[in-house]
Amino acid sequence: MKSYKYLSLLFLAFTFSACDDSVLNLTPESTLTEVNFYQKAQDINGAVLGIYNRYQTRKQRDWAVLEMPTDNIHRTGYFNIGGLDELNTLAFSSENQLFAGFWVETYNGIYRANAVLANIDRPIDYTAGQKEQLTGEARFMRALFYFDLVRTFGGVPRITTMLSVEESKSTGRASEEEIYSLVIEDLKAAIDLLPLKDKIASGRASKAAAVGLLGKVYVYRKDWNNAKTYLDMMTGYGFALQTDYASLWKEETEDNKEIVFAMRYIGGTNGNTISTDFLPYFGVTGISASGGENVFPSWSLMKLFLPQDSRKKATVTEYWKSPKSPTEAPENWYPYVSKFAVPHTPNSSGLDIPVMRYADVLLLRAEVLYALNQPAEALAELNKVRARAFKGNTFNYTTADIATPAAFTDKLLLERQLEFVMENERWFDLVRTNRFMTVLTNVEWGYNPVTKEPQKVTLAPKANYKYFPIPNNQIELANAGVLVQNDGY
């Protein structure tokens, strides 16, 4: 049951830079201006929905940037997304349109958040607590956008006000520390301003979402004490793991106790493409009449699933036959990612996409507790996720499995990989643990079930790939020497 739509009549007028290819030229395309738009509380509410909409639009294809370079997937012969092949083979370039699109979509979201915050004081018809909530939502979303940017590009322009085109052209990159400081500042403000999850429409940011995201930010900063403080707070908000992992990926049970924050989609109205992107080209009976078949799951991933792991069946379907085949025709070995495969019209699925689940909170807590020399407590958190996957404690890890920091990281990354396939965690996990160069040098893409031989591929990841290249078109739009490229590109 959907509780909120991001697309509204107000948003139809709020189309700031929706088709612009430059963060440096964010001119409203509609005839509305800041002078006559932000007059009433409903105007600000519509503008806040516009912030969500920008993230919602980007989120459904984030996998192309954040999963494609990993060992989880490899491209197919059908792929139709420009720039995908280069990420598949780790040939990173500042000309890649996927990096450029990620940058622009994210800064467009930041622009919208800044517009709300710049005009929040104009209306005088707010209901009790409404102004605080809308302010908190704008700051939460700005923090989320900047957290994505700093993890992918490192230091980026720190823009918190409404800049003119000329001012933006002379705005250079802030340091990583400055961006992280802004993220933390915004999230702390959001925590104070946002209501609890049951006091706000589902699909909008809550106090718990801000707390959970701040805990995650501190994990990335390796600030273990602060991370523990905020992640511990999450135990008091009523979240819990879904008993059945597969129920997370069904529309009828998508709004559940495990979802800390998710992007909402309405099939046929503002549906997502992710449910179509991974399906076989000729579709899947009962699911979709066609598929994007952009990628296949890699054998590097599939071989890690034990047969008893319930996440395997919920994540990957191994055998398929064309809907046009005769009924009696057998299925063929044709693995595809089916995690988001709900019945839908092609490219317009109503399945929500999680941004943060309670499983992430538990695994982050495990990481923090181990770093704080509490291995027994870390093991307990790790095994909560493990036990859900195996529907019991038979396959739980023991203290011997995490006897050294390296061994613990091995188990942690394994659980995170299997738990969050195509949820855009793998690339970040490999980079922040300094594993991406070793893990991604030798990968296995396809697999022949007859010969039992994998397709082994050697790649050449580089140390500077921990940051993506600043899109060259953005450098050229700025004044000379203002936007400096990352090292190695």
Concatenate the DSSP letters of all residues of 307-357 into one string.
Answer: TT-HHHHHHEEEEE--TTS-TTPPPEEEEEE-TT--S-BTTBB---EEEEE
Q: Is 332 left (phi over 0), alpha (psi -120 to 50) or beta?
A: beta
pLDDT at 24: 33
CA 379 to chain centre: 26
- At a CB cut-off of 8 Å and minimum separation 6, what does 267 contact? 344, 345, 348, 349, 350
In a domain, 58, yes or no: yes
Q: Indicate whether 2 pLDDT > 50.
A: no
pLDDT at 165: 87
The total of structural domains in the chain comes to 1
Q: Mean pLDDT, the chain, as a whole number?
A: 93
- At a CB cut-off of 8 Å and minimum separation 6, what does 212 contact? 230, 231, 234, 260, 261, 356, 360, 361
Q: Give me the mean pLDDT over the 294-314 stretch.
A: 98
Q: Give me the mean pLDDT over the 321-328 stretch.
A: 93
SS3 297: strand
pLDDT at 33: 56
d(CA 336, CA 274) in angstroms, rounded, equals 13
Q: Indicate whether 4 pLDDT > 60.
A: no
SS3 51: helix
Q: Give me the mean pLDDT over the 361-375 stretch.
A: 98
pLDDT at 35: 61
Domain extent, residue 144, equals 9-194+467-477
Question: In this prediction, what percent of the chain has a pLDDT beyond 90?
Answer: 90
pLDDT digits 0-9 by tens, 241-296: 999 999 999 999 999 999 999 999 999 899 999 999 999 999 999 999 999 999 99
In a domain, 165, yes or no: yes
d(CA 101, CA 83) in angstroms, rounded, equals 11
pLDDT digits 0-9 by tens, 209-226: 999 999 999 999 999 999
The residue written with tokens 């890690």 in the block is 304
d(CA 415, CA 383) in angstroms, rounded, equals 10
Q: Give me the mean pLDDT over the 120-129 stretch.
A: 97
In a domain, 420, yes or no: no
pLDDT at 9: 26
pLDDT at 1: 38
Cβ atoms of 194 and 144 within 8 Å: the answer is no
pLDDT digits 0-9 by tens, 444-462: 999 999 999 999 999 999 9
pLDDT at 180: 98
Q: Indicate whether 363 pLDDT > 60.
A: yes
pLDDT digits 0-9 by tens, 148-183: 999 999 999 999 999 988 998 999 999 999 999 999
d(CA 236, CA 233) in angstroms, rounded, equals 6
In a domain, 247, yes or no: no
In a domain, 31, yes or no: yes
d(CA 201, CA 335) in angstroms, rounded, equals 37
Q: Residue 341 is encoded by which pair of tokens?
A: 């495969």
In a domain, 401, yes or no: no
Task: List the one residue out of 81, 61, 103 whose CA is nearest residue 473.
Answer: 103
pLDDT at 29: 38
Q: What is the pTM of this model?
A: 0.93
Strands (E), 346-477: 353-357, 442-448, 453-458
pLDDT digits 0-9 by tens, 67-107: 999 999 999 998 889 999 999 999 999 999 999 999 999 99
In a domain, 50, yes or no: yes
Q: What is the CATH number of the domain that holds 121?
A: 1.25.40.890
In a domain, 206, yes or no: no
Cβ atoms of 455 and 446 within 8 Å: the answer is yes
CA distances from 69 to 64, 280, 461, 467, 468 (A): 8, 21, 9, 12, 11
Pairing of strands 353-357, 332-337: unpaired
